[in-house]
Chains A and B, each alone.
Chain A
Amino acid sequence: MINRTVAPPITDAVAFDLRLKPCDRYTLDNQVPVYAINAGAQEVVMIEWVFYAGNWYESKNIIAGTTNFLLKNGTQQRNAYSINEYFEFYGAYLNRSCYNETATVTLHCLSKHVAELLPVVAELLTESIFPEQELAIYKQNQKQRLEVNLKKCDFVSNRLIDEYVYGFGHPYGKYTSTLDYDAVERTELEKFFNQFYQNGTCMVFAAGKLPADLDQQLNRVFGSLPLNSTVLPEVNYSLSPAAEKKYRIINDKEGVQGAIRIAQPFFNRHHPDFPKVQVLNNIFGGFFGSRLMSNIREDKGYTYGIHSYLQNHIHHSAWMISTEAGRDVCEATITEVYKEMELLRQELVEQEELDLVKNYMIGSLLGDLDGPFQIIGRWKTYILNGLDEQYFYNSIDTIRKVTAEELQTLAQQHLNPEQFYELVVV
């Protein structure tokens, strides 16, 4: 009989030699940089065009998001239906997303169809016309969607907490109202498109089983477009965090849960403490075995899940604690969150717990690097944040070496309830 009470021996994940696969880099004739990871067994590719066309660059609310959304809704040659039909016929997915600094167009398709699809992507990026009718449908449907979302406590709380942390005048803190949709004019989209897409600043990320001549294909189709030739306007915003720290809001009288958000403004990845704080955050609320989860879900049963994380922004970040808890236990949940902060300030993390978190972080990093899309995703984060692979190796080194004492010092600096905004939306 085997003795089941004894765990099999393990290799500590911290001992693994983790390598970030280097990415191929080249530039098209117009200086558009391309980053590529050629790997994987399936005959699939992902190609992403990243433009500096996020809401950072808009002068009126949701112009960036609307422009990005309507890129698929009409060119000089095709209407929205034929654009969709073209991509879907090849079993391809063309998605677009608008973020704060950047906005993207992403193609997922079988490797064998790349050549047919690239020219139509280029058409969208150069010939989009933003038909009035498409804009009207978009406004109508987005307003309806917003109306439904505003009934959800989590949606409302996410908007408000960002406003408190960054201020409504900052791209990270602003949000959309029905009136904003009404105010969008076609000509504003054309203008934004002209400046930030047609003549914009672009980079390309590609991953998967790439066609051997992808560089030539990209250069043929995109290399002579007037991209990356004008200097991006320098836009600066000042943060204006709210003065009041605590908020309780009733959004739905009948609500049976409250969305709790507790957050403070935080530095970005360039701060030398950032990787250490990631370790501290993991212990605090960053994974299933974290203290918040063990206490508030696994011991008290107040919630289905509670998480803490550092917001993934480029210029500034925020340290956020987020959960939906039973309406009658919201205040008790907040008390427990602060108790966990206090424990981290007062007591050293025990070696056993620290080792576990280190192993977990390295193991999950290893898993996160499994596959071409994951690898290019990591490269993209580094490149957009002005970092390089050294950041990857430094982070690993930090996870290996960080001590309980250092974590306690960081907790004393950063995990003080009075620094946090606190919000409950029922």
Chain B
Amino acid sequence: MITFERFVLDNGLKVLVHEDHSTPMAVVNIMYDVGARDENPDKTGFAHLFEHLMFGGSINIPDYDEPLQRAGGENNAYTTNDLTNYYCQIPAENIETAFWLESDRMLSLAFSKKSLEVQRKVVCEEFKEHYLNKPYGDVWHQMRELAYTKHPYRWMTIGKELSHVENAHIDDVKQFFFKHYRPVNAILVVAGHVTVEQVKRLAEKWFGDIPMGDPYLRNLPKEPPQTEKRVKEVHAAVPLDALIKTWHMDARLDKGYYVADMITEILGGGGSSRLYQKLVKEKQYFSNLDCYHFGSIDSGLLTVEGKLVKGVKMEDAVTAIDEEIQKLTTSLIEEPELQKIKNKTESVIAFEDMSIMSRANSLAMYELLGDASMMNTELQKYQDITVQDIQEYSQQIFQPHNSNTLLYFAN
């Protein structure tokens, strides 16, 4: 049970406090309700580029990192298709430094042209390092474009192409900031060796006078239900053939999401999972095989991905995966197999909750989804799932017309 208190400042900033006095540290986590899905299709990669610019100096403080490091703190940030999250860990004595720094960059950035110029280059190198200069680096670029026709999940967080990042203009930066980086669109979580009273005082002092901003009303294009199966072939300079197949699954808050999450474990979670045992160990069609999803807030993709053993035909690999998937739709899984997944989930949650950093991040995430207290009811949602649920949901999503297949051939 993770306990927390919640209050809202007059400007709409939601503040959550999780006290844990067993640590000398404090974590300050700010989640902004904006991600790559909120981007203009012609200016993709912007939310992530913007994350970099948040370290390029704010209106009253020329450098974010330096004062934080001087106070013994460390920080980082990440951007997903759904959200942007900034967090720092600092000795609790010096927590006010984090409030000072975070509030000033919420008040306003410095909008330095130099910072934009440099970070455009840095992000381009990040793009190259992770997506261009690696074998199979473009797999998700290809798959997103195949699986989504309307919804902005059709591009990656890093952006559709380098040119979008290269062409980012300082006016875009300003506009994006004042649209999304307002108190009313943010959640502040403070965790660790702090008290609620102390956080109330500091939040009011540092964040209280920041103008509220307009609530961002998200109105994204809906992805129409897929009606026929899509298959795309890619030929690239890679050593091995690869196969990646996805099916549309439920959004984060729907019941189907939890069932889909368990299905990925049944199929690909560990050495006793079905796909690994059948296709890597017994048939030896794949040298590695994973089954996963991204935890997307809007409707995401349940994914199977693997590299073929040399000499195995692509069509045989595709058929073998389909056969394993079919078993979930035609017969009920055994109770012990379901229990295994539930035990695993219980364990994963316990390990995740070990650090205050991770607890703060989860609280922000669930608050963004609607209510931080969902963090404490999450395990029960998994416990309630039955073998019938698994079969019914498998029948629902594992239909050929709901599938997208990328056949990635080695030249």
Contact = CB atoms under 8 A, between A and B. Distances in A.
Contacts of A16: 24, 72, 91
A92, A304, A324, A356: most-surrounded residue (chain B CB, <10 A): A304
A270 interface: no
A141 B345 CA distance: 29
B100 interface: yes
Nearest to B239: A147
A298 interface: yes
A110 B69 CA distance: 35
Given A88-B271, A89-B336, A147-B240, A326 B70 contact: no
A326 B272 CA distance: 42
B24 A366 contact: yes
B309 A140 contact: yes
Contacts of A367: 25, 74, 89, 91
Contacts of A371: 23, 354-355
Interface in B354-371: 354-356
B340 A325 contact: no
A100 B409 CA distance: 37
A80 B238 CA distance: 31
| Chain A binding surface, main DSSP class | mixed
A91 interface: yes
18 contacts: A1-B209, A10-B94, A41-B22, A44-B350, A44-B351, A110-B347, A252-B133, A256-B128, A256-B133, A302-B125, A326-B128, A356-B69, A359-B70, A363-B72, A366-B24, A367-B74, A367-B91, A370-B24
Interface string B64-98: 01110111111000000000000001110110110
Interface in B267-292: 269-272, 277, 280-281, 284, 287-288
Contacts of B356: 370
B228 interface: no
Contacts of A91: 340, 343-348
B61 A144 contact: no
B284 A287 contact: no
Interface stretch (A27-35, A51-59, A148-156, A187-195): A148-156
A137 B277 CA distance: 12
Interface string A110-131: 1000000000000000000000
Contacts of B205: 2
A212 interface: no
A373 interface: yes
A4 B240 contact: no
Interface of A: 1-2, 4-5, 7-11, 13, 16, 40-44, 72, 80-81, 83-85, 88-92, 108-110, 137, 140-141, 144-145, 147-148, 151-153, 252, 254-257, 287-289, 297-304, 324-326, 355-357, 359-360, 362-364, 366-367, 370-371, 373
A109 B72 CA distance: 33
A299 to B, nearest CB: 7
Interface stretch (B115-123, B182-190, B247-255): B115-123
Given A44-B354, A144-B307, A151 B135 contact: yes
A325 B124 CA distance: 10
Nearest to B354: A42
B288 A324 contact: no
A302 B107 CA distance: 30
Contact of B72 (A288, A326, A359): A359
Contacts of A72: 271
| Chain B binding surface, main DSSP class | helix
Contacts of B25: 366-367, 370
Contacts of A81: 271-272, 277, 281
Nearest to A13: B72
Given A362-B72, A363-B69, A371-B23, 7 more contacts: A44-B354, A81-B271, A84-B272, A88-B340, A140-B284, A151-B135, A359-B71
Nearest to A15: B93
A110 B73 CA distance: 31
A196 to B, nearest CB: 23
Contacts of A83: 271
B273 to A, nearest CB: 8
Nearest to A144: B287
A88 B238 contact: no
A57 B105 CA distance: 54
A362 B134 CA distance: 37
Contacts of B269: 88
B281 A4 contact: no
Contact of B125 (A41, A257, A356): A257
B169 interface: no
B132 interface: yes
B339 interface: yes
B320 to A, nearest CB: 16
B104 interface: yes
A355 B69 CA distance: 10
Nearest to A369: B24
Contact of A8 (B60, B66, B96, B271): B96
Contacts of B232: none
Contact of B288 (A145, A252, A300): A145
Nearest to B65: A289
B42 interface: no
A44 B94 CA distance: 30
B281 A356 contact: no
Contacts of A363: 69, 71-74, 90-91, 94
Contacts of B346: 91, 110
B128 A80 contact: no
Nearest to B137: A152
Interface in B285-342: 287-288, 307, 309-310, 336, 339-340
A41 B339 CA distance: 25
A297 B122 contact: yes
B238 A366 contact: no
